Amino acid sequence: MMNKDLKKVLLTEEEIKNRVLELAKEIMDDYKDEELFFIGVLKGSVIFVSDLMRCVENEVTMDFMAVSSYGMSSQTTGVVRILKDLDFDIEGKNVVIVEDIIDTGTTLKYLYEYLKKRNPKTLKICCLLDKPERRKVDIKADYIGFSIPDEFVVGYGLDFAERFRNLPYIAIVKEEAYEK
């Protein structure tokens, strides 16, 4: 039974699984037999990056980054705080940033520019969910799982006050749950 704070399932476990497999195939087609370096952005992308990397047959190494926005100011300044940086040098590597969601685009735009300066061979973005209506800065992912409407979604790594990250599906939160 679904939690009382959730309105409905937006993407089922099966739909996500199938799409993750398709994204992995797109990545494999683009990179052929080249080695890849995945960067998972904590914490939302944890489930997605774990599933995605197991569907990619290339040689894959990976690391995590932790970032935090400065609240409202990050949307105007575009500055994002790096809480955990990479443990490895990415120069000359085929880097894929793996994110759960692009909302305003602030986080990914900043991360992309930040990592580009370290001279990776290639730098791409793979994002499970995209909310194009919410975009404030110009950034596009190279691989997008699903374009979704502007609803508060949780599950498969995404949270509402740290809850629901463990749901195997993606669901919409009821308005009354967060407007209280």
The single residue among 159, 169, 174, 177 that binds ligand PRP, judged by CB under 6 A, is: 159
Residue type, 100: D
Q: What kind and span of H or E run contains 111?
A: helix 106-116
Q: How far is the CB of 63 from ligand PRP (least distance, A)?
A: 16
Instruction: Pick the closest to residue 26 from 178, 177, 142 (CA basis).
Output: 142
Task: Tell me the number of residues near ligand PRP by CB under 6 A.
Answer: 15
Residue 155 is given by DSSP the state: B
Footprint (CB under 6 A) of ligand PRP, residues 107-146: 107
Q: Counting contacts by CB under 6 A, is residue 5 touching ligand PRP?
A: no
Q: Counting contacts by CB under 6 A, is residue 154 touching ligand PRP?
A: no
Q: Counting contacts by CB under 6 A, is residue 100 touching ligand PRP?
A: yes
Residue 137, exposed/middle/buried by CB under 10 A (0-12, 13-18, 19+)? middle
**Can you tell me whether residue 55 is helix, strand or coil?**
helix
Q: At a CB cut-off of 8 Å and minimum separation 6, what does 36 contact?
A: 27, 56, 58, 59, 60, 61, 94, 95, 96
Q: Which is nearer to ligand PRP, 94 or 107 (CB)?
A: 107
CB 43 within 8 A of CB 100: no
Q: Which of the stretches 31-39, 56-64, 104-112, 114-122 binds ligand PRP when contact is defined by CB under 6 A?
A: 104-112
CB 122 within 8 A of CB 95: yes
Q: How far is the CB of 43 from ligand PRP (least distance, A)?
A: 4
**Catalytic residue numbers?**
103
The single residue among 97, 102, 144, 171 that binds ligand PRP, judged by CB under 6 A, is: 102
In the complex, residue closest to ligand PRP by CB: 44
Q: Which of the stretches 12-20, 24-32, 82-90, 98-106 binds ligand PRP when contact is defined by CB under 6 A?
A: 98-106
Binding site for ligand PRP (CB under 6 A): 41-44, 69, 99-107, 159
